[in-house]
Chain A
Amino acid sequence: MPALLRRFLGVVFVLLGVMLLIFIMLRIIPGDPVSVLLNEHVNPATVEKMTESLGLNKPLPEQFFSYLLGALKGDLGKSYYMRKPVTALIMEAFPYTLLLTVLSAAFAWAFGIGTGIISAIYNNRLPDYIFRGLSLFGISVPVFIVALSLQYFIYFKLSLLPLTYNGSLQSMILPAIALGWNSAGSVARLTRSSLMGELEAPYIDTARAKGLTTRQAIVRHGLRNAMLPVITMMALQLSSMLSGAVITESIFSISGMGKLALTAVQTRDMPLLQGTVLFMAFVISMGNILADVINTILDPRLRV
């Protein structure tokens, strides 16, 4: 499939750009990272030795090139603060973020698509107004407010679920809902509008003429076509979900990628921050390709 190949090439170029951008942005800071890393009152010889051992004395293009070569081999450097390879730290943290994102995507899909369909079927009647209001509310609440509200009501008032993540799947429910809340809102809105568009299509009339009820026509015929833009959007939302994961992980103390990045900023750990961001950009790009592939499988019109 040459189209897919071209897509892959495009992603490679984008990731190169991502790497370059992070590399430049992290190096325009005034002052050198080594004196920040070591305390201020060390002798210059130590600073020089450290700079050399970290490879920070080489010219920037050379540093970039060796970083690039390392990244291709899966070596993202060594964390300044935690003194471990960045790749190992990422591999420790990523499963948590993956679990959180998958659970919250499942919640967003189930809740968003479900309410979106109900909205479209009951267009401009009470259930539609309720769910439309709810979805607009859904996209207007920041992740941290959803998270704190869940902690207040579900943990504190009703004591149904644990306050923070403790390793059990149960304690992942609140973080997943908190993170999926916004996406559920946008999925519901898109499902509704996309399904409404499909309902005007002639094939729905045909299906009705063949004796299907409106509801059957919507579910068997309309929904299939209406889902295509929703799937594309879900892939694009991966990016905002991973953004939200930073906040969710910090509130529910999950030691995932977001926590790792936040720690990197707070401890001024450049290789760790660089590696984490690069890895997340990689995940997002892969997600976008996956959405393309799924769409090509589902929509024969794209296979030309």
Chain B
Amino acid sequence: MSSSSPSNKETVMRKVPLFSRMPILPPSVTVPASIILLIILLALLVPIVSPYDALRQNLTERLSAPGTAHILGTDALGRDCFTRIFYGTRISLFVALIPTAFAVLIGMAAGIAAAFFGKAADALVTWLSDVTLAFPGMLLAMVIMYSFGGSFSSIVISIVIMEWGSIARIVRSVTLSILENEYILAARSIGVKRFNIIIRHIIPNLIPTLIVLFTLNIPASILSESSLSFLGIGIQPPEVSLGLMVNESRTLLFNKPHLVLGPAGMIMLLVLSFNFLGDALRDRFDQEV
């Protein structure tokens, strides 16, 4: 490289088009990612796009069939299903992102602590994660619902407690393998503080794992919220959630199956897209997870 002249370098630079330096993502990433982006966009824009209110009841238009006025018809209280699905999707997306992110952050902190701060910390974290993993998730959530009531924050707490343990385990084992690298030994031997080693060497190397773990846990979060709301112990009416919508239309399953199919289809589309994306990201970045 040192022998190449500046002019030579320039021609090389000019020949390489700008975008070829960016990684070309395979369709297994771009297709689910664009579906998710489209859903996010629709969920954000639904108050502007839709002429209907998700909560306003219109008893003269109860259970109208799908048609031009109401794309997916109306429910038993005359509310537009299509609009409600996208309001419900907002809850699903929120649950997909926020509690999962908390779980990843807590799992990361606990996993690093277990790998880095000696045997006592390791034993404590392992014990705590074993304890939370010994619960069937739905029952753990029920205990929390019992204490805090069926509310949004109860759902967030339940999801974090359900998911942090397995994340901490994986972060712990990945951190242990990072710690075996020579640059860690080098950093330690020149007296870099432990905190700085974590910030500058461990966390940056954990990021691919964390991204994959985040994406892979999103479907579980969405499913937990919709299942709890379906059982009637999650999001409470009049708020809108996809699981709750399925529950509200359950008695009409045999007469008006489209009322169940709409929200159910949206849950499946979301979960399937995130599952595809998580799989593709794992294959690309991190086989260990």
Contacts and interface: CB of A to CB of B under 8 A. Distances in A.
Interface of A: 10, 13-15, 17-18, 21-22, 25-26, 28-29, 136-137, 139-145, 148, 151-152, 156, 239-240, 242-244, 246-247, 250, 258, 261-262, 264-265, 268, 270, 273, 276-277, 280-281, 284-285
Given A152-B257, A265-B145, A145 B268 contact: yes
B60 to A, nearest CB: 29
Q: Is the interface of A mostly helix, strand, loop or mixed?
A: helix
A136 B254 CA distance: 27
Contact of A151 (B127, B132, B231, B253): B253
User: Which interface residue of B130, B143, B243 has the most chain A CB atoms within 10 A?
Assistant: B143
A15 B230 CA distance: 29
Given A265-B146, A273-B146, A247 B136 contact: no
Interface in B235-289: 243, 246, 250, 253-254, 257, 260, 264, 267-268, 271-272, 275-276, 279
B275 A22 contact: no
B158 to A, nearest CB: 11
B250 to A, nearest CB: 7
B134 A281 contact: yes
Given A143-B227, A281-B134, 16 more contacts: A14-B130, A17-B130, A29-B146, A29-B148, A139-B275, A140-B271, A140-B275, A148-B260, A151-B253, A239-B135, A242-B136, A247-B138, A262-B233, A264-B142, A273-B142, A281-B135
Contact of A14 (B134, B139, B142, B144): B134
Contacts of B219: 139-140
Given A148-B264, A265-B142, A13 B127 contact: yes
Q: Is the interface of B mostly helix, strand, loop or mixed?
A: helix
Contacts of B140: 277
B48 interface: no
Contacts of B231: 246-247, 250, 262
Nearest to B150: A265
Interface string B121-164: 00000011011111111111011111110000000000000000
Nearest to B138: A243
Given A15-B134, A152-B254, A243-B136, A136 B276 contact: yes
26 contacts: A13-B127, A14-B127, A14-B130, A15-B134, A17-B127, A18-B134, A21-B131, A22-B143, A25-B147, A26-B146, A26-B147, A140-B271, A142-B223, A148-B246, A148-B260, A152-B253, A239-B136, A242-B139, A250-B231, A264-B142, A265-B142, A265-B146, A277-B135, A277-B142, A280-B136, A284-B136
Contacts of B147: 25-26, 28-29
A247 B227 CA distance: 8
B142 A262 contact: yes
A268 B150 CA distance: 13
A280 B271 CA distance: 27
A13 B124 CA distance: 11
Nearest to B279: A136
B226 interface: yes
Nearest to B265: A145
Contact of B253 (A29, A148, A244): A148
A276 B142 CA distance: 11
B146 A270 contact: yes
A29 B130 CA distance: 25
Interface string B72-94: 00000000000000000000000
B33 to A, nearest CB: 16
A152 B276 CA distance: 28
The 5 lowest CB-CB distance pairs between A and B, nearest first, are A17-B131, A243-B138, A242-B136, A140-B272, A243-B136
Contacts of A151: 253
Contacts of A265: 142, 145-146, 233
B100 to A, nearest CB: 16
Given A265-B142, A273-B142, A142 B227 contact: yes
A249 B71 CA distance: 34
User: Which interface residue of B147, B250, B253, B254 has the most chain A CB atoms within 10 A?
Assistant: B147
B143 A144 contact: no
A94 to B, nearest CB: 13
A265 to B, nearest CB: 5
Contacts of B272: 136-137, 140
B253 A140 contact: no
B284 to A, nearest CB: 16
B240 to A, nearest CB: 17
B139 A280 contact: yes
B14 to A, nearest CB: 40
